[in-house]
Each structure stands twice: as C-alpha cells, then as structure tokens.
Amino acid sequence: MNEVWESLTAAQAGPPPWAVLLSAAVALATVAWSGSWHLSRGLITIAHEGGHALAALLTRRKLQGIRLHSDTSGVTLTRGRPRGPGMILTAAAGYVTPSLLGVGGAWLTATGHVAILIAVVIGLLAAMLLLIRNLFGAVSLLATGGAVFAVTWYSPPDVDAVLACLAVWFLLFGGVRPILELRRKRSRGHAPDSDADQLARLTFLPGGFWVLLFLLVACACLAGGAWLLNPLPWPA
C-alpha cells in the first residue's frame, strides 16, 4: 500500500510546452467542429449527470439512478423534497461540473499529479457505473473507463501527462459549448424543462439568470485552467 501511495503522490514532470499548446488546439477543434463534437459530447454528458448525482448525495437526496442516452442526453433521477436548497443545488450542479472537473484536473496536471487524476477519473466512473439504470449508459461508462485504464496502464508517464492535458482542455472547452447550446435552444423555446427552467421554477430568479451563471462559471474555469496550464513564461 505504501508503494501504491508513493506512486500516486509522486510528482512527475509536466508535458512540454508544445504538447500543452497542441492539446489545447486539438481539444478546441474537437469541441468546435460539429462532427467530432457529436461523437465526443457524451463524455461531457457523463460529467454533467455525475455532477447532478454527486450534488444529490451531498444534499442527502435519495439517488434512484442515472440514464445515459445515445443522443448524448441524460437524466439523473432523485427523490426527496420537491423544493429547497437540496433540489436547487442538485439542479444547478450539472452544467458547471465538467468545467469544475476541468480546472481541478488542470491543477493536478500542472503540479505533476497525473497519476492521482487518472485514479480519480477511474474511481468516479466506477462509482457512477453502480448508479446506471440502462444498458447504453453501462456500455458507455465501461468503454470510457476501460479506454482510460488501458491507455494509461500501457503508456509511459510522459504520454500520460499529454493525454491528461488533452482531457483537461476538452473538459474546459467542452463545458462551455453545452451552455451556449442551451441558451440558443431556450431562445427558440425548445428546452422548456432544462436545468435552467427547473431552477427558475424553484427560485425567484429567471432561467436566463441561471444560464448566465452557468456560462460565467464555465468561462472562469476555462480562464483558470488556461492560467494553470500556461506553458509560456510570464513577462517580467
């Protein structure tokens, strides 16, 4: 156990500057291009629904399960008081979770603790698998967790650092686009039951306020993650 702990907590060298910049460009292109975004958006949905589930557990709501769908949507089912702080926090957690995970991963990557980041990701996916209530969701989590484990287990630490950097940038950029999509759908009246609209019904604040709050959190996390991962020297 001591050896495992030492291997997890031992800091390693971060990725070279060119790898940080290249991974940022690849992640941005993946999120910006509709074709690649459609294929990868499910990873953001996993983080989104995981955020709902974690918030429900922390606020002592009864978590009934999570469903992930092939159209990259998802739903987290909870039971408890229909109003109150617990329900508000649970509804508000989804859209900001990918960005919060991204900035946390950026800090771990920047400080050389990539092994901890990988262990946390695999642990969260395994815990979430216990809560999945449909076949597609189970297959998605098994495929994602299996890919993370296989790639990081057989690759050298330098490659792990680059892959972690790519994943972090993807979470940071990918946390912003769903909020912009939500804003566009709401403006067309296509998302009457979105998280923002549920929060509007739970509070005295309009849905547009919640969309703006989600966007501000996501942009702040993107700026913070970029600052943590910045490979270029600051001017004197």
Looking at the predicted structure, is the pLDDT value of residue 232 above 70?
no
122 within 8 A of 148, measured Cβ to Cβ: yes
Q: Is 161 within the bounds of a domain?
A: yes
pLDDT of residue 7: 61
**Which residue segment(s) compose the domain that 139 sits in?**
16-229
143 within 8 A of 129, measured Cβ to Cβ: no
pLDDT of residue 5: 58
Q: Is 235 within the bounds of a domain?
A: no
Q: Is 25 within the bounds of a domain?
A: yes
Looking at the predicted structure, is the pLDDT value of residue 2 above 70?
no
Cα separations in angstroms, 50 against 69, 83, 145: 14, 21, 14
φ, ψ (nearest 5 deg) of residue 67: -125, 130
Q: Is 65 within the bounds of a domain?
A: yes
| Total tally of structural domains belonging to the chain | 1
Looking at the predicted structure, is the pLDDT value of residue 27 above 80?
yes
State which amino acid sits at residue 76.
T
For all residues of the chain together, what is the average pLDDT? 90
CA–CA dist 193, 99 (Å, integer): 22
Which of 2-6, 14-18, 46-50 is most confident? Answer: 46-50
Q: Is 7 within the bounds of a domain?
A: no
Q: Is 54 within the bounds of a domain?
A: yes
Query: Which tens digit of pLDDT belongs to each residue from 175-199?
Result: 999 999 999 998 888 878 899 999 9
pLDDT of residue 158: 83
- Name the token pair of 23: 């991974």
Q: Please, which pLDDT band fits residue 235 given cuts at 50, 70 and 90?
A: very low
CA–CA dist 131, 67 (Å, integer): 9
Cα separations in angstroms, 207 against 10, 21, 78, 213: 45, 36, 21, 10
Query: Which tens digit of pLDDT belongs to each residue from 43-83?
Result: 999 999 999 999 999 999 998 999 999 988 999 999 888 88
Query: Which tens digit of pLDDT belongs to each residue from 124-163?
Result: 999 999 999 999 999 999 999 999 988 888 888 788 889 9
Q: Is 234 within the bounds of a domain?
A: no
SS3 74: strand
pLDDT of residue 3: 62
pLDDT of residue 193: 85
Q: Is 5 within the bounds of a domain?
A: no
DSSP at 83: S
Q: Please, which pLDDT band fits residue 236 given cuts at 50, 70 and 90?
A: very low
pLDDT of residue 143: 94
